[in-house]
A and B are shown apart, each in its own frame.
Chain A
């Protein structure tokens, strides 16, 4: 083990650190990796003993015994991702940057022609070219000292997407970053997005299987910074294989009058935990957080959001909606912190859940902490069932029970999906929700 000081020991999850592929780091990265590994080694994976992990137990990830460092170079060389099927969203025409098992796949990507000064590259490429903005950006927002999953990702950091928008750059085509996974291993995809003053873009970050029913673990970290008056629409889609595990940390930093609109869709992995942290760090910034999650079968999905109002006159609006059936399990924890200087804050948070079976369960908890006195804050959480009157209305017109339940379930989240503003994505997500919802309708019929 070269990455850690000798004599300390060493979490098995770090055992792959001295393998190939991570050698040849620039000095600063080797140091960063070492610090992150030491931090992870000290804390290990979070456990339900920690308040923020009370309902979500990651021990299944550890016991799965993944190849923690991902696929090695030899295996990648034997099969350069050629067998991977890749179905882009039809009609989207994005700039696309695709990764297979955590590594850039040029064959599947279409980087097109970006506007002048815009950089859309793989992190590995940027590192090999010594691009300074990547060096400055990595770990600038997603600190690992008190978050061991970020530490694990940083320790194994190898590749991912790096996007830079200079001042006033407006990227019209959506930027589609896709992480496909096909092999039974742990991957640590990373995303770095940096928009300077007045820049604008739509960013789609999605996670999907690249083969038939693979079991794997993605531990993702995304760092997004918005300069003054910058605009970002960020559509994050966790549609992993149903046997997969997915943990993620999304860290957003907003400067004055910037606007972040985040859509966080989670419908796939058997276990998903997504931490979304937004820092409204300068006056007049606005964040909208929209979430849709579903849990059927034995799936477990946990969303933790944290909106940090540090400066005055910022706005945050948050709506997360969940559909749960069978023995599905969901957790929502939404923390909003209004610090003493954050006067004139406007913060709204809603979490709504639709329970389709008596065995499904949701734990929802809003946490508003307000230390300023001139603010408008509201929150609400609901858990409900399908409206029997609406169900009968649809059936009285000829729709079967399963279809009627599916139609009403999709309707429950349609206001969020419609807001995505990318019809092709909304439709594809509605379809992704369908099979589970329909199967559930049949079960109940």
Chain B
């Protein structure tokens, strides 16, 4: 198993948000995690990537059999965990190319691979930018600075394409995208799907799943997975909305 989450409980500022999550993600799989606002979707993404301020109170997470929670965020990235941000951060004064080269070489160094020189790096960037239909001129600008919402999200998937993670957690990558941008982002994600990597798609809406077909769909509510199924579950959710969660006894959130 690539990623194994067992009884994960986590709090933010003392407030319990995740209340016992169990999830197995195997290589080659795409899992969609859906749920209403406040159900803990983004918290799950942040806990898995090691964001400071998110405190794990119980449970375990292993990545390729090793304790993921013991690692610093940068160590998780170097092991092959990637977080696609819901709100990519603008960093004035840090050039996109420079940033990605530093990131890629940190990861390659960790894997015992040689660092890429400027020539090979530019070649890789051009190739992956074309894959993502990303305007190359964006790459010589500061990280996300002045990018449109769609450009920021495409830049996230572009970074994923360059860094080639084993596990990508894409946090509401579809939010704020118009239908054309959504199609481009989804096409990019599909091109990156392989038998030896996995993707967790965190999303509020079903529409991304029209383009990126998940193997599993999980519904998160009150910090727990209350229902799991195949891709048809997403279609049911689209019809019913999330209101049924309030009434279904099995879906009632457990508060500690």
Contact = CB atoms under 8 A, between A and B. Distances in A.
A395 B88 contact: no
Contact of A407 (B76, B102, B110): B102
B89 interface: yes
Given A388-B52, A392-B51, A392-B52, A399 B102 contact: yes
A393 B91 contact: yes
B93 interface: yes
Interface stretch (B5-13, B36-44, B77-85): B77-85
Contacts of B142: 411
B208 interface: no
A164 to B, nearest CB: 38
Interface string B100-127: 1011101100100000000000000000
A388 to B, nearest CB: 7
Interface residues of B, number: 31
A125 B163 CA distance: 60
Given A393-B88, A394-B99, A398-B103, A411 B94 contact: yes
A411 B93 contact: yes
Nearest to B92: A411
Contacts of B51: 392, 396
B145 to A, nearest CB: 10
- The 3 lowest CB-CB distance pairs between A and B, nearest first, are A411-B93, A414-B93, A397-B103
A22 interface: no
13 contacts: A392-B73, A393-B143, A395-B50, A395-B74, A395-B77, A396-B77, A397-B74, A398-B74, A398-B110, A403-B102, A410-B93, A411-B93, A414-B94
A397 B99 CA distance: 9
B99 to A, nearest CB: 7
Interface string B158-177: 01000100000000000000
A408 interface: yes
B89 A390 contact: yes
A414 B107 CA distance: 26
B73 A412 contact: no
B74 A399 contact: yes
B89 A397 contact: no
Contact of A393 (B76, B82, B89, B106): B89
A411 B142 CA distance: 10
B72 interface: yes
B93 A397 contact: no
B77 A397 contact: yes
A414 B98 CA distance: 13
Given A395-B72, A396-B83, A404-B74, 6 more contacts: A394-B91, A396-B82, A396-B85, A398-B74, A398-B163, A410-B93
Contacts of A407: 94, 99, 102
A408 B94 contact: yes
Nearest to A392: B51
A390 B88 CA distance: 9
Interface string A84-109: 00000000000000000000000000
The residue among A404, A407, A412, A415 with the most chain B CB atoms within 10 A of its own CB is A407
B7 to A, nearest CB: 25
B49 interface: yes
Contacts of A404: 74
A279 B91 CA distance: 37
Contacts of A137: none
Contact of B91 (A388, A390, A401, A415): A390
A396 B92 CA distance: 18
- Of the candidates B51, B74, B85, B107, the one having the most CB atoms from chain A within 10 angstroms of its own CB is B74
B43 to A, nearest CB: 14
A395 B73 contact: yes
B225 to A, nearest CB: 24
B207 to A, nearest CB: 26
Contact of A399 (B85, B92, B103): B103
A413 B159 CA distance: 25
B200 to A, nearest CB: 15
B140 to A, nearest CB: 13
A6 interface: no
A397 B142 CA distance: 16
A397 B85 CA distance: 11
Contacts of B103: 394, 397-399
A408 B142 CA distance: 12
Contacts of B52: 388, 392
A400 interface: yes
